[in-house]
Structure 1
Amino acid sequence: MRTQVLHPVLPGTKYEREPRLALDEAVSLTEALPGLELAGALVVPVPRPRAGHLFGPGKVEELAEICRENEIGLVVIDGPVSPVQQRNLEKAWKVKILDRTGLILEIFGDRAQTREGVLQVELAHLSYQKSRLVRSWTHLERQRGALGFIGGPGETQIEADRRALAERIVQIRKQLSKVVKTRELHRAGRKKVPFPIIALVGYTNAGKSTLFNRITGASTLAKDMLFATLDPTMRGIALPGGKQAILSDTVGFISDLPTQLVAAFRATLEEVLDADLILHVRDIAHPETEEQAADVRKILAELGIGEERQDHMIEVWNKIDLLSDDDRAAMQRRSGRTAQHVALSATSGEGVDELLATIEATLSEPVTAEVVDLGFSEGRARAWLFKENVVTREAQDDDGYHLSVLWTRKQKSQFEALYSSH
């Protein structure tokens, strides 16, 4: 189906993303769904959003002409579209409309493979459809022809649809509770095995599945497309010193992920909540890598993974093979300064051995997260902390340095012995 992608730029919104890059992501989302042929993509300024059509009358007609000329069958609008706006635009353009949430749901529906994944997708989809049930003139025309009067039948049909959806949602939730109990039994079984669980998280298309395959030798779907992995995959791995661990790959995160999807996939992401160590895989070559990382941290916080546990994550700076030689060298130097960053290429394998060694070192001895406050005159103490690779974050104000550290009991004792004022 020939598809047009639109990224509306609305007024009065704090834009953290550059519109052109946001449009590129929307195009990647669209291309991730089989059967769609991309015909065009546009950033569309919307000076004054309209309740009925989102766009103004002139823009609606201009876009209708684009749809006619290019024989468009589907328009993807990268943002929220109300049920009324969707109905009116479909009528004006004579096409099917999908907003961002609808598109992501379609991709999830196409990718989910496990029983739980399929049920979670259907639950999210039904909740979305329930909000889309609005009075439609075409719906009323059908009722009118069958029953001979204009008024209530349309509403009656909508209520019947709502009831049917509500009943199906109840059924799915019952089925999901059984599936979740089974998963809980599996997790309880794994806890009896003294193997730590390592969870891969990251923005979609950051290279998690490629890294998973590189480390485990598995053949998980790993393509250059958004949401290539939806269902959690787990494999046993051997660390360099011979210690065994379990590595878990998870669904990729994305900006503006609808709340209902975060809730629906919470069970899928329970592996992350139970993990002994989280690896945050970042596409370090992406122009918005910092914004993507912020989105991941935000969703982790929504899942109940607080700042202290996030400080305990290892950031994996992936795709260094896509950087220039100078940027690559700089990135490797930066990653070497702390124990919580490893630069690598999951595609070529460069840096993967270093990651495994870092994982082993992190898991080998219990660590605690603390904040060490140092005055500006205590440069030697600060240098020691960096030399020991225990610093995860540093802030500075008029009083001096404030360093978030992850250290073992031994490292803390050594520091206190050397710098007894702390």
Structure 2
Amino acid sequence: NELQRGENVSKDFLQSSGLAERLAAMPDVTRDEVQAMTKGTVPEVQQVMLGENVIPTYAKQFTDIHYPDFEPASADSRYEAMRLAEASYDMNMRRDNLDGAEFAAAALDDLQDLDRRYRPGTTEAQALAKYGDYTIPGGENYREMLLTLPMGPAKKQTYEEWVAGGMQGQWSTKTGTAQEPVKFQSSHWDQPNVISHIRMNDRTDAEGKKVLFIEELQSDWAQEGRKKGFAKGENKQALAAQYDKLNAERNKLESKLSTADDADPATLGILDSLKTVYEEMLALADRMTAERSAIPSAPFVRDTKDWVDLSLKNILKRAVDEGYDRVAFINGKQSADRYQLTKYLDKLEFIRTSGGIAPGPDELGNGMLIGYDKSGHRIIEE
């Protein structure tokens, strides 16, 4: 309880990491034991950049290798260069006509060319970003930063969950058996588990200062969760097993009822039991449907403050590391002008945050106004 009350402790993290359940079973636990349990459970946020850093760092290191001295078998990393060239850059047909050293040389040659073509800020690099047309004039070096959660290893069930789920799958120890890892797929991005996306470019202000300009900061995951609700993390196998058990009980009661005497007082008891089973099955079916249709929960996405803070920290770190003088964000008027709202705006919605009933049609209270374009992309948030 003391841990959960800490201002820097995320309740979502405690639940998703399994720490809450483990700590509940340990009335007395030391700081060292908590640190040992959290090792490897802290969510690792990854960056995916579209529009820069197109060629992986491990490929760039090969550009200074002299071809005559190149020996494909001398290092694992050189095999990786060959694999990259063959798999990603259509080199497979050339390999049939070249020996190993010649193919490696050709692969490195292509990597050098790609490195030159796709340096940050080039036309080719920026073409890999998806929404470069949704910007206001005057920016350079447009790119998109996606903050993602890795798919990671499969989540483990407890022993009790495995038993309740009908003991499906193999079981070797009580540490758990695999479940599907959390995955959210936004309609705007090819990459899974995007916590938030940041669209940015470079500008120079009236004072000649170098500005990192943020065109858009948004979380599709959080938005979908707010609309459809987040999954509660209930074990689907356990729910299905519980439903099957109730269904078997229902069949047994219906069989008894079919041969029961209406005048027998016991018949009324059968009817009462059957009614209870029906109600439990309906409630369970609702839970199963809600779990299937809900958005998977994960750290950062349930609370707007969490994903915004995470995004801002990444923006500020980038600004410092890359020598920007200032960071600026697009405002509502610029966003409206950028999207030519009379042409692109498809839907507006107002989400009340003040609670209670709105005072009247002209007084909606405090809240957030959100506008969407025809593709469902959020273009206004005030």
- Normalising by the smaller structure, the TM-score range is under 0.3
Report the TM-score when normalising by structure 2.
0.20
Higher strand share: 1
Higher relative contact order (CA 8 A, sep 6+): 2
Structure whose alpha-carbon radius of gyration is higher: 2
